[in-house]
Structure formats: C-alpha cells, structure tokens
Amino acid sequence: MHTPTRRRLAIAGAYADLVVCCLHIGASFYEHVVINTAWTYNPLVIESEQSGVDRSLFWVPIQVCAALSLTVALFAGWYDRTARRWLLFAALSYVAACLWMFVCWVPVRAVVEKRSELLLAELQSARIWLMASVLSTVLVLVSTWTLYHAALRLESPAAGGSRRKLRPLGVAFR
C-alpha cells in the first residue's frame, strides 16, 4: 500500500543510509591510510588494552545504523518496483561487504590485536588482510551508489514525489 507517509519514510531511510554509507567510506579511507599503515609497524596502535585505538567503538554503531536505516528504507520503499530493485541491490552489496569483513577481519584481528610483537608470517598475513579489506570498501561504494539511485527513484514523480524535471541549460536562458 502506497501512502505519502510511507514514501517519506522510505526516502528518509534511503538518505539516512546514504549518510551512514558515506561515513563508512570516509572511516574506511581513514583506517586504511592512517591506522592500518601505522599498526603494521607498531601493533600497540590497535591494542585497546594498551591505550590504542578501539575500532569497535566506531564500527559497531555504524553497522547497526546502516542495518536499521536500510531495513526501514527497504520496508517502506517496497511499493515501488524500481526503487525496490535498487534497495535490494544496495542491501545485498552491503551484506556482502559485512560478510567479507567478517571472514577476513575476525581471524586476523584475533591473532594480531592480542600480541604486541608479531611473527614474520603473522605480519605478512596481516598485510595481505589489509589489501583484501579494501574490497569491503568497494562493496560499500556500490551500496552507496545504488542507494543514491533508489532515493532518486523514490523522489521522482513516477513514485509519487514532487520533484520537478530540470530544463536543459540552453532552454533556461531563452
């Protein structure tokens, strides 16, 4: 059933998840450039017991917010077939990113963050993990792109929105 309230809720959920995904991308970039390059040389940087960075304080709330806002957008935007496809693709790519990080991150983190000195083999596997973890950021980028298209679709006049069509630039100045 399509109601204006449900449409507004779908738009709000899509844009909220879009903001969360943008935060996720920015934080991933910061983590890859600053934190991950530092801790391969000094593992104390990420040991939270030794006054290092506790990544879970940021990533857990981001994951919860992303899941909630994507669920709201998907539930409320289900009435629009095109937006539903975009939202489903966004959800699948975000779940794939989360699964990829869980498969890659948890085993290495369990070994690396508990020890102040790494063996050479552990250090090499950690560096391979760092390269592989970039894939989750790419999947979140895909999710962000599809969320943007879903939000545009939900706001379009065909979906019940009031967005006006823009005139071409040449027509505007005649």
> For position 128, what pLDDT does the model report?
75
Give the C-alpha separation, 16 to 19, whole Å: 5
The two most distant CA atoms of the chain are separated, in Å, by: 71
How many residues comprise the chain? 174
Amino acid at 78: W
> For position 121, what pLDDT does the model report?
66
Give the C-alpha separation, 141 to 23, whole Å: 11
pTM of the model: 0.76
Give pLDDT tens digits along the chain (174 positions). 568 888 889 999 999 999 999 999 999 888 888 877 777 666 666 666 666 677 778 888 999 999 999 999 999 988 888 899 999 999 999 999 989 888 877 776 666 666 556 566 666 767 777 777 788 889 999 999 999 999 999 888 665 555 555 444 444 444
Determine how many CB atoms are found less than 10 A away from the CB of residue 34. Answer: 12
> For position 166, what pLDDT does the model report?
45
Vertex 20 angle, CA 16 and 21, to 5°: 115
Task: Residue 20: name the closest of 144, 159, 158, 103 by CA.
Answer: 144
